Chain A
């Protein structure tokens, strides 16, 4: 049987405002418990909410970036439930009239396929505080620092069809949010959290299967693993003749399994109703225009420009433009060396792996954009081969100087003198009569043996394309 996974994501993004969604308390991660909670955050009697204008602007900015309808009259609602870290006994959220309406997000997978996923809506809501169960032997501690922190909840349509697509969507969303500067997007600190709604069905079915919701997944890797394991769990149950229960589940990365949290069949009745302490938020054209004017060049537009201006493939352009700083770095490299394809390869390949290993961001790169351009220029003018370039790059990373200086001091300049290369090839052919015999009897694979020998003898400095040409001629004689 062929199964298909159906996924919808709810992403909670903590907005990078200075203060909370409805109070003036500041938001800094890691402050002493309850030092960032004022009388409103504690829900003292008589206190009232005042909407943070910056959070509103950020939400609208996001909406414009995904081409969504902006709610002209947006309403906050009370979502009622009792929990000790929810001081008011209700969470102020948005139900029927969210600030951001229908939009979409497009991403490209590694295989070059492009996917556009519908974003159902995005709304503003306040975060809850934290219950601390470990600190006290018999009691639960409450830390309200996080209570009231502004969140943007972004809900996708159930249009994702694999864990890979879900991760690609999430990464694209992450990139967009960083571009917009509306969140630090730090998943390890909970600035971006993800709930995945997962169901499975037979390929070709038009009806959705019963879904489960996996709560609070906090890394890209876990999103992929959680969806894979949950889809498999559901398939196993159905294939064994069982039935999926609609419920909330938790992903345990240590055991790589999902566990039931609570069943929706005995779900809370949240008794939503419009928040009477806040008037509906009316957004006019002028406000939208003002926010629009602050939008940076967005990843999709940048990617298209990279494709047309630099001739990059869609996938390469997407990867290079995924992060704003990387994209800027890339453009400096191209400008200085004039070769976009090589620039993209180096920025995404060797440079990225060095950065990953050292856990550095591109802003902290040990090799500057213009220094990298200097190296690429030497490849382009045949001073060094791509292979030698890797050696030079390694030296550059170690701080041994510019590409030119390293090539000079280590004598890595490529041999392009065809006479010298010919001589070397003649010697090697003469020294390996058995291999020559094999080649001439039709075993053309032996060709690579000769190339290897030449490169070895030249210590890699012989120009590879010259070596190919001359060797081919000599062997065929």
Chain B
């Protein structure tokens, strides 16, 4: 493979790579090696990967090449990608951004990992993330912050910051990610990517390390809606191992990508175009919306009356669930154990004090408090009631419109360290995305403009299990615009 072919190959997305590999423009081993080389060159500065699985990747690639020669290869066999380090991978460290799991080698695969592997996809490594997915800037990771490839002094967003940076910097063509309050969509917005968080229950959570069980959902970060459709097709579906996964057939996402938009009713929540939104962002989002209008869609203002309560409700429910989900990290069976514990209490206290970072501890304390006798009704129950109201808001809106659109984030990526001192400012990062998790709805962020050379995202929210529609809208938008093709570039320049 010549340097020029290699450079071209690294620009290709999943759909295009499938065609190239089928044509044997290059082999999967060549492609994989090219990515591994590139990771070797750029990962130190970006810190996008925490683990690179060179040998395993090359072995998977060789197997894919062999299958292709034999004519037995699956369509996407041999295509490299990365997993967020929240998915358990057999024999490979799964640390979830935490010192607590720095020594944890999973003995089993997450369902998502299994499905990607069965499709013949080649895992290049595991990507950096906020510790236990708690963060909006990827600065809470035990492995250090990830840098935004568009500007290395900025955050990539979080918690799936490693996946976002890796895809944006062409350290992989696509990556898995997870979203509890905006952790796929906000990094997508900050890094100029397509990111989809499917409906709660669409993708199995088996093997995906829990942050807040009723909100967590797996999705992908890609450079196009088409690629997202391909990967969502692989990942989705009912899993008997996850009782909250939904037993509904998975539609053919590629089949409906090109459907016309005529008559589509788009709702614009007035609360998402109010104070706090950067005027430049609003201008670009409105410009993006006019693209949809051009294609025959109708814009209509809607109201999500309780959206101002979503961040507060979220920061009761998510920490409450997390406080219990993280109790298993006690130094007894696996993970970090403090040195020479003198007794059981010492083992618990020091293992958890030393194994968890500040943000994780903060949320465990908030959640424990919210569930405590005497506070449970005032916090947890009340937050659940608010959650119901938020879901009702969306249901009401969806009687009038088909989808809801608005900015994914009120602004572009912010400087590293600029919000770490004030947790509440950081929590407000997810102001437009969090309600979608509380309502369990699918949400997608699509690149919709650049401000001072930094990308912004348009968020599209649909009814339950309307992933096909969201991908269709994003794809139609990408057919008419080129924002999604703007990347920091293979050379690290825009």
Pairing of A with B: yes
With beta carbons under 8 angstroms apart, the residue of A39, A50, A271 that contacts B240 is: A50
Q: Is A287 an interface residue (CB 8 A)?
A: no
- Which of A78-86, A153-161, A212-220, A247-255 is the interface stretch? A78-86
Measured CB to CB, the closest approach of chain B to A72, in angstroms, equals 18
CB atoms of A80 and B206 under 8 A apart: no
CB of B396 closer than 8 Å to a CB of A = no
A49 interfacial by beta-carbon distance below 8 Å: yes
Contact A276 B214 (CB under 8 A): yes
Is B243 within 8 A of A45, CB to CB? no
Contact status A273-B328, CB under 8 Å = no
A277 with B88: CB separation less than 8 A: no
Residues of A within 8 A of B244 (CB): 48, 276-279
How many Cβ-Cβ contacts under 8 Å join chain A to chain B? Answer: 100
Contact of A50 with B333 in the complex, beta carbons under 8 Å: no
For residue A269, CB closer than 8 A to chain B, the reply is yes
Interface of A is mostly: loop
Across the interface, B333 reaches (CB within 8 A) one of A87, A90, A276, A278, namely: A87
- Among A271-328, those with CB < 8 Å from B are 271-273, 276-279
B residues near A140, Cβ cutoff 8 Å: 344
CA distance A50 to B334 in the complex (A): 23
B231-270 CB mask vs A (1 if < 8 Å, else 0) is: 0000000001111100000000000000000000000000
Asked if residues B107 and A89 are in contact (CB atoms below 8 Å), the reply is: no
From A39, A45, A90, A278, contact of B324 by CB (8 A): A90
A46 an interface residue at 8 Å Cβ cutoff? Answer: yes
Complex contact A43–B206 (CB within 8 A): no
- State which residues 68-102 of B face A: CB under 8 Å: 87-88, 94, 96, 101
Q: Given contacts A45-B101, A46-B207, A269-B372, are A276 and B321 in contact (CB under 8 A)?
A: yes
The answer for the CA separation of A42 and B209 in the assembled complex, in Å, is 14
Q: Is B273 located at the chain interface by the 8 A CB criterion? A: no
Known: A269-B373, A271-B368. Is A48-B209 also a contact (CB below 8 A)? Answer: no
> How far in angstroms is the closest Cβ of chain B from A132?
13
Q: How large is the interface on A (under 10, 10 to 19, 20 to 34, 35 or more residues)?
A: 20 to 34
- B213–A87 CB distance below 8 A: no
Whether B348 sits at the interface, judged by CB under 8 Å, is yes
CB distance from A315 to the nearest CB of B (A): 47
* B127 → chain A closest CB, angstroms: 16
Encoded as 1 (CB less than 8 Å from any A CB) or 0, chain B from 148 to 169 comes to: 0000000000000000000000
Q: Interface code B322-333, partner A: CB below 8 Å = 1, 0 otherwise?
A: 011011101011
Tell whether, in the assembled complex, residue A82 and residue B330 are in contact, meaning their CB atoms are under 8 Å apart: yes
Chain B residues in 8 Å Cβ range of A277: 210, 213, 243-244
* B110 and A46 form a contact (CB under 8 A): yes
A44/B107 in contact, CB under 8 A: yes
Q: For residue B101, which residue of chain A has the nearest CB?
A: A45
The 10 nearest A-B residue pairs measured at CB: A89-B327, A276-B213, A271-B371, A276-B214, A43-B328, A46-B207, A45-B209, A46-B88, A269-B373, A46-B209
Q: What are 8 A-B interface contacts by the 8 Å CB criterion? A: A48-B206, A84-B330, A88-B328, A271-B324, A271-B376, A273-B321, A277-B210, A279-B243
B interface residues with partner A (beta carbon < 8 Å): 87-88, 94, 96, 101, 104, 106-108, 110, 205-210, 212-214, 240-244, 320-321, 323-324, 326-328, 330, 332-334, 344, 348, 368, 371-373, 376, 380
Given A50-B241, A142-B333, A276-B244, 13 other A-B residues pairs in contact with their CB atoms under 8 A? A43-B333, A44-B88, A45-B101, A80-B323, A80-B324, A82-B327, A87-B328, A88-B328, A269-B372, A273-B320, A273-B324, A276-B321, A277-B243
